[in-house]
Amino acid sequence: MTDLRADCTRCLALCCVLPAFARSADFALDKPAGRPCPNLRADDRCGIHSSLRPRGFAGCDAYDCFGAGQRVSALVGSRDRRAAAVFPVVRQLHELLWYVAGALAEPAAAPLHAALRSAAAETERLAAGSPAELGALDLDAHGRAVDTLLRRTSALLRGSGEKLAGADLVGADLGGRDLRRADLRGALLLGADLRGADLRRADLIGADLRAADLRGADLTGALFVTRPQLAAAGGDARTRPPAGLERPPHWSRTVAG
């Protein structure tokens, strides 16, 4: 399967040029789409990479292209209009591959493995297309087809669980809450207190965890979690991330009281 980890050494700094930034808690400045970030060096490397968070660029620190950057850089070879059109498409396809790979890693999802492998192969085929093919792709239709399969996988793995899909839980006090096997797809958990919460086997696909407090939370076996979700949240030495996901460097290494 395609490498789904960003390799900035093989990328033309697409994420530092193509997207627009809006001054906020995540970005220290406004930047229009297509204009290089002022922190980008001539060698296409970030000049403040080691201090992004203290310099006000937490959004950059949490961002992950799922390996789309190096793929598009090799395909297009420049930061032109084709790259601007193709990069977001390939990134979304790679994110779908991340979710499908996670589902395929679940032995309990064996009844759906054949369908998942077919979805992965088709998504790979689309991601390997030419700029013209990627530009003409009906990404929404493909995304809906894959999402239907992921929903079936989630239901199979979770069984019964609290239904909180799309819930507005911004700033909610969920400390110590039993959220095992909960459906939290697309839930708004910005700034939510999830200290000590039990999120084992919860479906967190698309959940917004920015500034959520995950200190002491258990995400063992949580479904469809991504690196950007964890990087956007806070945690500590007691936080248990899903297997295969590293503890973000900015998380506290101490146990909070």
Buried b (16+ CB within 10 A) or exposed e, 112-147: beebbeebbebbeebbebebeebeebeeeebeeebe
Residue 177 predicted with pLDDT over 70: yes
- pLDDT tier for residue 100 given thresholds of 50, 70 and 90: very high
pLDDT tens for each residue of 192-227: 999 999 999 999 999 999 999 999 999 999 999 999
Average pLDDT, the chain: 94
Buried b (16+ CB within 10 A) or exposed e, 196-209: bbbbbbbbbbbbbb
- pLDDT tier for residue 74 given thresholds of 50, 70 and 90: very high
Q: What's the N-to-C CA distance of the chain in angstroms?
A: 42
Query: What is the CA angle 6-78-136, rounded to 5?
Result: 85
Residue-level pLDDT at 252: 75
The DSSP letter of residue 248 is P
| Residue from 186, 208, 88 nearest 139 by CA | 88
* Dist CA 183 CA 162 (whole Å): 6
The mean pLDDT value for 55-81 works out to 93
Residue-level pLDDT at 255: 55
Residue 233 predicted with pLDDT over 90: yes
* Dist CA 113 CA 189 (whole Å): 31
Residue-level pLDDT at 1: 60
| Ordered structural domains, the chain, with CATH | 8-158 (no CATH), 160-257 (2.160.20)
- pLDDT tier for residue 112 given thresholds of 50, 70 and 90: very high
